[in-house]
């Protein structure tokens, strides 16, 4: 057991548990933030993508010990009402089918747009290939990223 403090979506959190616990389960089980999804547990599907100090990471393999004093942003932290331009683009393009992977897709896309404000198709394809969409909504994801890029200008 160890007491570790960090911030989630701008709010300070102190968690006292096994420091090996992946951030994914800290978010879901301890902090009741269930927008970050469990898909594989081995950083292969991207459903659990969050930002750690602004960088996209897979929460399922990120131990609590590695986030001490760091800043975590989850899908709930982008905006509460979906007004963040990437979330809004996802709604406008009507991307989701089952919707389970989309929070992770949005977190990856938001990080991608920070790196490439005007991403090319190739940059989107490469940058988003860590996130599996089992329903196959990739074309709409690409369209939504381009729309978000436009709206962020």
In the set 6, 39, 48, 149, which binds another protein (CB under 8 A)?
A: 39
Show Cβ contacts of residue 126 under 8 Å, excluding neighbours closer than 6 positions: none
Q: Does 28 bind another protein (CB under 8 A)?
A: yes
Q: Does 119 bind another protein (CB under 8 A)?
A: no
**Segment 72-101, which members bind another protein (CB under 8 A)?**
74-76, 78-82, 87, 90-92, 94, 96-101
Strand ranges (E), the chain: 2-8, 11-17, 49-52, 55-58, 71-73
In the complex, the smallest distance separating the C-beta of residue 54 from another protein, rounded to whole angstroms, is 18
Q: Which of 60, 65, 153 is nearest to 107 (CA)?
A: 60
User: Where do we find the tokens 């005007």?
Assistant: 118
Q: What element of type H or E holds 105?
A: helix 102-115
Q: Does 29 bind another protein (CB under 8 A)?
A: yes
Strand 2-8 relative to strand 71-73: parallel, antiparallel, unpaired? parallel
In the set 49, 73, 110, 137, which binds another protein (CB under 8 A)?
A: 137
In the set 54, 139, 150, 151, which binds another protein (CB under 8 A)?
A: 139
CA dihedral 136→53→44→145, nearest 10 degrees, is 20
In the complex, the smallest distance separating the C-beta of residue 84 from another protein, rounded to whole angstroms, is 8
In the complex, the smallest distance separating the C-beta of residue 86 from another protein, rounded to whole angstroms, is 8
Show Cβ contacts of residue 106 under 8 Å, excluding neighbours closer than 6 positions: 75, 78, 86, 87, 90
**What residues make contact with another protein under the rule CB under 8 A?**
1, 17-18, 21-22, 25, 28-30, 32-42, 44-45, 47, 74-76, 78-82, 87, 90-92, 94, 96-103, 106, 121, 124-126, 128-142
């Amino acid at each position: 057991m160890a007491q570790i403090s960090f911030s989630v979506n701008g709010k300070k959190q102190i968690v006292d548990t096994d420091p090996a616990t992946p951030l994914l389960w800290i978010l879901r089980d301890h902090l009741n933030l269930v927008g970050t999804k469990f898909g594989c547990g081995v950083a292969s599907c991207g459903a659990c993508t969050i930002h750690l100090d602004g960088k996209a990471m897979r929460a399922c393999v990120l131990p609590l010990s590695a986030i001490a004093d760091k800043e975590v942003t989850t899908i709930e932290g982008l905006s509460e009402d979906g007004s963040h331009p990437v979330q809004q683009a996802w709604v406008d393009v009507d991307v989701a089918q089952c919707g389970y992977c989309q929070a992770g897709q949005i977190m990856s896309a938001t990080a991608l747009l920070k790196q490439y404000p005007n991403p090319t198709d190739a940059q989107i394809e490469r940058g988003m290939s860590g996130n599996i969409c089992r329903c196959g909504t990739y074309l709409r994801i690409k369209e939504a990223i381009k729309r978000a890029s436009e709206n962020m200008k």
